[in-house]
Amino acid sequence: MASFKIGKRVLLVGGEGVVLFGPSARGIEREAALSWEVPNFDQQLVDALIKQNKSSSIVVIFDGADQTYRKEENIPKLSYFDRQRFIKRKLEQAFPSYPVRASVEVKPPKGSPVPPSYLFVAIPETERLDKIGDDMLEAGVPVSGFGLLPAESVGLVSSLGSKLFGGKGRRSRWVVLVGQNETGGLRQVVVKDGNLALTRMTPTSESGVQGSGWVDEVIREFKGTLSYLPRLGFTPEDGLDVIIVCGDIEKQFFDQKSLPVTNFQCITAVDALTAIGAATGNLSTTNFGDSLYAAWIGKKRGLAAPVVVPSINRIMAPRIVARFAMVGLVLSLLAIGTYTFNEYQDYRTVESISSRKKSRRICCRKNTSARPRQWMNCRSSRLLWRV
């Protein structure tokens, strides 16, 4: 499979720290990983941001546990602009105490008579996000957006499920991606018909992040998710595919487990990156899944659900203004070019008509001087003879 190009840097922010990924000649590269507890966290993050790839824009992805989701289905038929105002008002009513909010349109399956609905997301603006914003402002790096990991990884889950299980009969409507993130916690993303249905974040337990104890913890947490799916409309006839990102050692333990699912596969992060067409760069084989999310988000042109965080948006504002100014300049140059071209075409047309008239007058004078008894009608180019 042809590999895609990762064009952006991705800063994953979680409960235990941050991990910075960036593009390299060999693919995706892990540039830095910092715990919130390290001394001089701010200075170390600034140094990591300016050490390499400083000109590449950064996407900040929040993967903390304090994310709130709510599905809004009662959407009346409105025009585009009226619907946007309606969604904004409903979003404010749903999360009045949350300053950071966003909405994602949930499209029904093709041919379904069910109208589209919306998924509302919200997070509290924490001091840690303000800290991240201050550090990026000090580093002077360009920032292109802020998003939430579950909402931005829906396409990843669907694509990975298609690559791993696409040739195994009828496609399942439900796909679950489970992985331990280095930023903190076990993340589960559940996708139904290409839309986010459920996400769960479980803090890292005493059993650690590897070995048989971690495997038992993953199985226990997944069974908790499985017990909740019927409330969302899941039936065994729908099909359920499960993908778990783990290390080579953990694979052996998972193979001994039996789960009531349609398809199951435990895969390393490196193999998962290869499956979606991303080069692995300097990544080692671990059971952390952060690199998989970073590679997918880093190659996207835009975010599925961009979220406005005041402390980070102040860095993006000059970039957005400059982008609109550049678009305005290009449009102005195109307008001037079109006007100049039209004026030049009109000038050439007038010159051509003038040249033809001048040629006819010269022709008339020449014929009149050569034949004095002959009259020339220059308009119709006919010769009139005197009788």
What whole-number distance in Å separates Cα of residue 104 and Cα of residue 304? 7
| C-alpha distance from residue 37 to each of 32, 41, 183 (Å) | 15, 7, 12
pLDDT in tens, 65-103: 888 888 888 888 888 889 889 999 999 999 998 888 888
Q: Is the pLDDT of residue 20 over 60?
A: yes
Instruction: Please say if the pLDDT value at position 49 is more than 50.
Output: yes
Please name the residue that has the structure tokens 């001091």. Answer: 127
Task: Assess if residue 114 is contained within a domain.
Answer: no
Q: Is the pLDDT of residue 1 over 60?
A: no
Give a yes or no: residue 43 inside a domain: yes
Dihedral sign (CA 199, 205, 210, 212): negative
Share of the chain above pLDDT 90, in %: 39
Q: Which residue has the higher pLDDT, 364 or 160?
A: 160
Does residue 373 belong to any structural domain of this protein? no
First to last CA, the chain: 91
pLDDT at 43 over 60: yes
Which of residues 2 and 314 earns the better pLDDT score?
314
**22-31, 55-64, 367-376 — most confident range:** 55-64
Which token pair is 378? 């220059």
Q: Does 353 fall in a domain?
A: no
Beta sheet of 58-62, edge-to-edge order: 27-35, 17-24, 9-13, 58-62, 143-148
> Is there a contact between 267 and 250 (Cβ–Cβ < 8 Å)?
no
**C-beta separation of 298 from 281 below 8 A:** no
Mean pLDDT of the chain: 82
Structural contact between residues 291 and 21, judged by C-beta atoms closer than 8 angstroms: yes
Would 81 be classed as within a structural domain? no
| Predicted confidence (pLDDT) at residue 274 exceeds the cutoff of 80 | yes
Q: Is the pLDDT of residue 249 over 90?
A: no
Domain assignment present for 332: no
User: Which of the two residues, 347 and 237, has the higher pLDDT score?
Assistant: 237
Query: Would the pLDDT of 282 be above 70?
Result: no
Residue 379 lies in a domain: no
pLDDT given at position 188: 96
pLDDT for 368? 54
How far apart CA 9 and CA 193 sit, in angstroms, is 29
**pLDDT attached to residue 326:** 53
364 falls in which pLDDT band (50, 70, 90)? low
pLDDT at 382 over 50: no
218, amino acid identity: V
pLDDT confidence band for 347 (50 / 70 / 90): low
Helical H segments across the chain, by residue range:
41-51, 80-94, 127-139, 149-152, 154-165, 211-228, 248-254, 269-275, 290-298, 310-370
Q: What is the pLDDT of residue 12?
A: 96
Proportion of the chain in helix, strand, coil states, percent, rounded to 5:
40, 25, 35
Q: Tell whether 328 is covered by a domain.
A: no
Domain that holds residue 138: 9-66+126-308
As for how many domains the chain has, the answer is 1
Please tell me the predicted confidence (pLDDT) of residue 324.
45
Report how far apart, in Å, the C-alpha atoms of 308 and of each of 68, 142, 327 are.
15, 16, 22
Examine the pLDDT at 373 and tell me if it is beyond 80: no
Q: What is the mean pLDDT of residues 21-45?
A: 89
pLDDT tier, 167 (very low <50, low <70, confident <90, very high otherwise): confident
321 pLDDT tier (thresholds 50, 70, 90): very low
